Structure 1
Amino acid sequence: MQGSTTGSTTPFEVAVVGAGAAGLASALGSAQAGIPTALVGRHAPVADGRTVALLDGSVRFLQALGAWDEVGERASPLCTLQIIDDTGSLFRPPPARFHSAEIGLDAFGWNVESAHLVAALRRCARSQPNLTLIESDATGAEPGEANSRITLADGGVVEARLVVGADGGRSPLRAASGVPVREWNYPQAAITTILAHDKSHDDVSTEFHTRSGPFTLVPMSGGFRSSLVWVAGKAPAERLAALDDAALAEAVERQARGMLGRMRIDGPRGLVPLRGLLASTPVAARLALVGEAAHVFPPIGAQGLNLGLRDAACIRDAVVRAHRDGRDPGGRAVLAAYAAGRRIDAAARTAAVDVLNRSLLTDLLPLDLARGLGLLAMTHLGPLRRIVMREGVLPRFGAPELMRVKRA
């Protein structure tokens, strides 16, 4: 259902601000549970060659939301993860391979273009009962005793008992709420694009660890296309981004050691400065933050959007429990429970990605030794190897309802 709220203050139970993947998933999750929900935001896809590796838990969530069939048609399975140390370190370990079958999965996850994922979720939202789409930007939100009042750029007003802030890394709702954040920048940028290549990727995702950051090739559907995330220093990244398609493809082929044969650029490009952000808490008065409104980190390890989708699944669980028990979904107790579950997960994932990225940028022997020994341990110690793989795909404890493995 779509509509305008100009002149109307009919309260919703939940209003989600932000029409990206995390916001769409949050809105669909509560609406499907029969909770009157509004989704506030304009759809503005960005064509920059970015894809997302949806891990197993995220796929389960999308299946529950009814979006996976369409997404899966254009997604490629990630059955094997390969890590190659290309730092030149004295303690360089041999390449490590991790197979999804070792932890009982057909695939660790599935890689799909970000724009296609958002479009599929948007189509689900347009036909979802209990969900009103409001095609306007929010300019502010003011929490009250019973509701929060959201003002819109078109002059309209939306009232809701709970506002879910999914409005991105520079979230106006977070800023207005006064939630403190820790922000930092990296001396790097990521080049993103889509490649066609002569040799099949065989569903293997390969990550080269270099002194300027990870260089990652992630399989795409068809066997002969991959997405690229090439993290490099800012100046080198800018020089690479300025190359024409043929020269950039040649540089990628060289960096990949020719493992996929001849390459050509087969999609749009992007150049993304690397930055980090972590909110001190994902909640404020009648406000829950999800996705990049709560945490931002580099495109490393397929954690960013997967963490945002876990946020969306967790706030859905909190809202559904409150609705079932007749409690206020924007009340302090509900928000405190959501915050307790998300704070540790977000902080741990952010720290892990930060440590890995920074460890690649230094040539200190103790750090090289620690990184090399850690990779060797994961390669050769079966129990540790399986624990790391499972935790990377989905935390074992505290998984939201729609991401859990269904037990017979």
Structure 2
Amino acid sequence: MTEPFDVVVVGAGPAGIATALALNHVGAAVALAGPPPPTTALPRPETRTAALLTNSVDFLKHLGVWDRLAPDAAPLTAIRIVDASRSLLRSPDISFEARELGLETFGFNIANTALNAVLYDRAREVIPHVVPETIKTVDLDDDQATLTLGTNEQLLARLVAGADGRRSVCRQTANIETRDWRYEQSAIASSFRHSLPHEGVATELHREGGSVTSVPTPDSQTSSLVWVCSSAEAKALMDQDETRFAASLQEHFDETLGVISDVGPRACFPVAGLTAKQLAANRTALVGEAAHIMAPIGAQGLNLGLRDAAALADCVADALRHGRDPGGPHVLAQYVRARQLDVLSRTIGVDLLGRSLLTTLVPVQLARSAVLTGLKTFAPLKRLVMQAGLAPPANLPRLMRPIETMPA
């Protein structure tokens, strides 16, 4: 193109592809640049799943991909939290059920591989400019951005949507600093079979040093697993054979899911956090893990990135409607206002919950126990907390509102 794109989205993970699809949906001239999902087995298999909350599902419906994803998605009807620690101040077990909010589900769990493949296929169908290449450099000036591919071809853009992950080239080029931290923990992602059906219930076992979480899959007797623990314990668990690892799981879940067997491939990841000190600057808006990374607690990470995508689409749509530069300061400021409270509140909340499982301080344990006891005994407060977990503190972006409530 001799004219710049309205937006070039850098990064073809789920948040990046969703951003490109949302921008295309609102009429922006958009290009998506990034390596496509792998079509062959990787040395380290992709074992993770994504728990998509209700507004994320509505977003995917607007983007025209949910019908393809639904067969691979498992409904999440309840979340059960169990204090599996050895603390003298153990918290009561508590279940959060979707029906308490008048909902059928809190959302759906789906394998990352299925999500990425369907999103990318949809992008190739509806976006004229999908470039399966890595962006090597980004050059910014007052009027536009010039993005150079690994092939030395170039793309011009009025706005760069940086969805290129933890080591974001877009973020570095825009001179946006980050705050990074580590928890000295690792997360093991896998799957396993169990003799009792999960019935759509995700179970979080909170224990010293982390949590063990099972999340339903479409097979009623198979769950995905996220096991957060110290890095040393994670290494020992990864060294176990399948039989011993299943036995370790059985020790924690006891008879909750019956007899555990058939552990799937395992992958281990460091648990760390990152927040960008600015969500947008210098013709660049950050999306997904380029803007924020948090511990795998409470299904917040990808849902937060999808809200970034939908909010950016709102901002760009408003700019184009009023003849504004989509990469100009006004639009970037609008995006920051739309996202900063949601990102900040989720980041702090997940960090505090994660650290509460690491501490041995009695006052912290007492406070955590008191909070869960209060939620269990006071239904209005419990409903309020569930609603806050499902939706951002500000208005939902337009593409995340249920289709039946959208104006004609």
TM-score (normalizing by structure 2): 0.95
**Cα separation, 2, equivalents of 1:365 and 1:395:** 32
**Equivalent residue in structure 2 for 1:36, among 7, 16, 29:** 29
Matches within 5 A, 1:373-392: 373-392=370-389
Q: Which consecutive unaligned segments of at least 5 residues does structure 2 have?
A: none
Q: CA RMSD in A?
A: 1.4
Matches within 5 A, 1:290-305: 290-305=287-302
Q: In structure 1, what is the equivalent of residue 78 of structure 2?
A: 80
Give the AA of the match of 1:104.
G
Does residue 308 of the first structure (1) align with residue 305 of the second (2)? yes
Distance in 2 (CA, whole Å) between partners of 1:51 and 1:135 is 24
Unaligned runs of 5+ residues in structure 1 are: 1-7
Tell me, yes or no, if the aligned pair for 2:341 and 2:393 is still in contact at 8 Å: no
Residue in structure 1 matched with residue 398 of structure 2 by the alignment: 401
Query: Residue in 2 aligned with 1:356?
Result: 353
CA deviation string 1:20-53 (max 9, x = no partner) = 0000000000112222110000024463310010
What is the CA distance between 1:259 and its match in structure 2? 1.5
Over 4 Å off, 4+ runs: none
CA-CA distance at 1:407 after TM superposition: 3.6
Query: Conserved in 1, the CA contact under 8 Å of 2:37 and 2:116?
Result: no
**What is the CA–CA distance in structure 1 between the aligned matches of 2:233 and 2:218, rounded to whole Å?**
30
Residue of structure 1 equivalent to 2:273: 276
Corresponding letter in the other structure for 1:132 = H
* C-alpha contact (below 8 Å) 1:32/1:128 kept by paired residues: no
Where 1:139 maps in the other structure, the secondary structure is strand
Q: Does the CA-based 8 Å contact 2:135-2:149 persist in structure 1?
A: yes
Aligned mates of 2:126, 2:261 — CA distance in 1: 40
Q: 144, 147, 159: which is aligned to 1:147?
A: 144
Aligned to 1:100: 98
Aligned to 1:73, the other structure's residue is in SS state helix
Kindly state the Cα deviation for residue 258 of structure 1 after the two structures are TM-superposed: 2.9
Greater CA deviation, 328-337 or 44-53? 44-53
Per the TM alignment, residue 391 of structure 1 is displaced from its structure 2 partner at its CA by 0.9
For 1:31, the aligned partner's letter is N
The letter for the 2-side match of 1:25 is A
**Which of 181, 188, 191 pairs up with 2:188?**
191
Q: State how 1:96-135 maps to structure 2 within 5 Å.
A: 96-129=94-127, 131-135=128-132
Q: Is the 8 A contact 1:201 1:219 kept in 2?
A: yes
Q: Aligned letter for 1:386?
A: R
How far off its partner does 1:395 sit? 2.1
Are 2:324 and 1:323 equivalent residues in the alignment? Answer: no
Deviations 1:108-135 (A, max 9, x none): 0100101110111011111104x41011
Matched with 1:11 is: 4
Letter in 1 for 2:32: L
CA shift digits 1:69-111 (9 cap, x unpaired): 1111111111011000112222212210111011121100100
Q: Give, in whole Å, the separation in 2 of the partners of 1:309 and 1:268.
A: 27
Q: CA deviation at 1:396?
A: 5.1
- How many residue pairs end up in the alignment? 400
Is contact 2:192-2:260 (8 Å) kept? yes
Q: Is the 8 A contact 1:184 1:276 kept in 2?
A: yes
Q: Is the 8 A contact 2:186 2:268 kept in 1?
A: yes
Question: Distance between the aligned counterparts of 1:273 and 1:251, measured in 2?
Answer: 20
Partner residue, 1:210: 207
Identity of aligned residues (%): 43
